[in-house]
Amino acid sequence: MIHSTKSSDELRSVRNSRYILLCKLLLVIGTSFLLVFGSLTIIDHMYLLGTILLGCMSLGYVALYQLHRHDNIRFGIIAINSLCVVLSLTLLITGGRENTGIFWVYPLLAINIFINRFRTAVLLYGCFLIICGVLLLTPFSGLLLASYSSTEAIRIEFTLAALYLICLATLHSEERAQAMLIAMHDADMHKMAFFDTLTGLPNRWNIKDRLESLLHSSKAPDRHVGLLYIDLDNFKKVNDNYGHDMGDQLLGTFSARLRQLAEELNPSFQLELGRMAGDEFVVVVNGPHLINRTREVAERILQLFEEGLPVQGISHSVYASIGIALYPQHAETASELIHRADLAMYQAKGNGRNRFEYYSDALAGELRDQDRIESALRVALKHNFFSLVFMPMYDCQTLEIVGLEVLLRAENLQSDGIGPDRFIQIAEKTSLIKEIDLWVISNALERLVELQSATGFSGKLCINISGVELHNELFPAQVKALFNTYGVTPSSVEFEITETAFVVDDNKSRTILNELRALGISLALDDFGTGFTAFRQLINYPADCLKIDRSFVNDLFSANVARHKMVRIIEELAELYELRVVAEGVETQEQLDYLQQIGCDWVQGYFLSRPLPWPEMLSLMSNPDPVIK
């Protein structure tokens, strides 16, 4: 309710500002009138009335000064009330100039009623009306300096009473309208604060409050709470390819299906839904037998995606990764329950997506390791603990070194046996991978300049970049700036991107690749053959080279005929598309002989050379025998 209270205060602040302005205006007009009217009254030798009028004027100026300086609405209203009551009674008692003072009492009464709250106006001006009646209609009329006939006195009292009732009725209606406006505004603000505007589902704050309430009421041994944390897979691609409007409609479609599922399973499952943020949703399951119930709910949610999510006549291949955490088995508070379900969801993503995973202590340990590695990567970037090693690439027929693959090492992680296969995956889950990619490119180009100067090297420098860069619009410009800094010819560099990072019909990726290609950089598909749509990629993306995955080279002489034939199939496919072929993981003479026989272009592997640190690489390049055995 904090947001609602804040919104009410804001509306009241607007109203108070209006009242302050009104009070200032009334004081300016009133004091000006009192100055003129009081002066004329004294000139007419009505010293008592004139003195009172000028005294009220002086008090009005003091009130105006204080109101202007402090903007205290209560002080302003009290000052005006006091002045108007004194002035009205004075005009009634003295009659004013030529007995016309009573005509000024009516507007003064109306003005003062409208600057007060209803209850204050009822009490204050009810008392004023009684005093006027006593002075006009009782023996106390002898206190009046002006003379009023009984008919005039009755008419004045009746007019004051009628004006009093009319103004109060109007003020009451205005306050009711104001209260209704505040209530409606509070309701809107409450909805905005606790419900998602796109789907109408409870938002993160609402879900957390509801969970805390459920956990508090679920202390009994047979009462438990389960939380399913849902993240939509491939949703970002829908946004990138079709725009955010399409993405919003897709979220609406999914939330509608989720609501329908909840209606089918309730009340026995006691499901509550919510949208945490973006494409992340939660389902709360309340009651006994949580393992079975949460599993059934997760399976039913995954079934919602089996035929895709249709939006504007297009069926989108969107899926879900679901993490499940249970109270009290996995968490003791609402925040812990949400966090651990979120962790389990990321584990589901890491295990292949379109699945669900339960939180476990082993998962927590793995995630702690990830946090530790992420921290080490940040330290490596800050203190330059990264280093490069270079894997020579050889012409398959002549065994001359024709290229160098740049490989990254983190010195502060090597002692724990953590290599790039592990830490790159973690870096890709954060923004660190972009910084690491630029560090690698910058340092690799610096080494290339040194190598070309020292040995006249004219081959390719092959640099691995993350698939994350395929959606980084700034990446081509950043690469161009680095090439300009080091004065390197782009055609001497090749970027290697894993084949599994490519997605057919991903327009943003294709745009990034074409921009890199336009700079003159060649592109290689790394680990080719391991993706699900490998052969179609060649039609859709500007590749210059295919790198056969080491697993296929390793199976060249295995009993698995299909994998044995894969190397030749890739070679023939590359020949068809006029692409260069590089075989990774060559570790025996037999493998090298076979690759030479089928016409492979380049080879690399431990049989030829291990990855070398920079000093050894320079030594190798000056060695007439290109092969280390």
Residues 6+ apart with CB under 8 A from 567: 548, 552, 553, 556, 583, 594, 595, 598
- Residues with a catalytic annotation lie at 279
Span 110-165, pLDDT tens digits: 766 666 777 777 777 777 777 777 777 776 666 666 677 778 778 877 777 887 78
Q: d(Cα 180, Cα 159) in Å, to the nearest integer?
A: 31
Taking 70 as the threshold, does the pLDDT of residue 274 lie above it? yes
pLDDT-derived band at 5 (thresholds 50, 70, 90) equals: very low
Tell me if 131 sits within 8 A of 89, measured CB to CB: yes
Domain 204-359 is found in CATH 1.10.287.610: no
Tell me if 115 sits within 8 A of 80, measured CB to CB: yes
Which H/E stretch holds residue 216? helix 204-217
Taking 60 as the threshold, does the pLDDT of residue 426 lie above it? yes
At the fourth CATH level, the homologous superfamily of domain 387-408+433-621 is EAL domain (3.20.20.450)
Tell me if 256 sits within 8 A of 265, measured CB to CB: no
Coil, helix or strand at residue 129: helix
**pLDDT computed for residue 628 by the predictor:** 43
Amino acid at 199: T
Average pLDDT, the chain: 82
Span 311-353, pLDDT tens digits: 888 888 888 999 999 988 888 888 889 989 998 998 888 777 8
Lowest mean pLDDT among 3-17, 413-427, 562-576: 3-17
Region 10-26: mean pLDDT is 64
**pLDDT computed for residue 474 by the predictor:** 95
Where helices occur in 432-494 by DSSP H, the ranges are: 432-455, 475-486
Lowest mean pLDDT among 60-64, 153-157, 619-623: 60-64
Span 427-480, pLDDT tens digits: 988 779 999 999 999 999 999 999 999 999 999 999 999 989 998 999 999 999
234: which DSSP letter? T
Question: In b/e form, how buried is each residue of 93-116, taking b as 16+ CB within 10 angstroms?
Answer: bbbbbeeebbebbeebbebbbebb
For the chain, residues classed under CATH 3.20.20.450 are: 387-408+433-621
For the chain, residues classed under CATH 3.30.70.270 are: 204-359
Could you tell me how far CA 236 lies from the centroid of its own chain? 14
Q: d(Cα 279, Cα 201) in Å, to the nearest integer?
A: 13
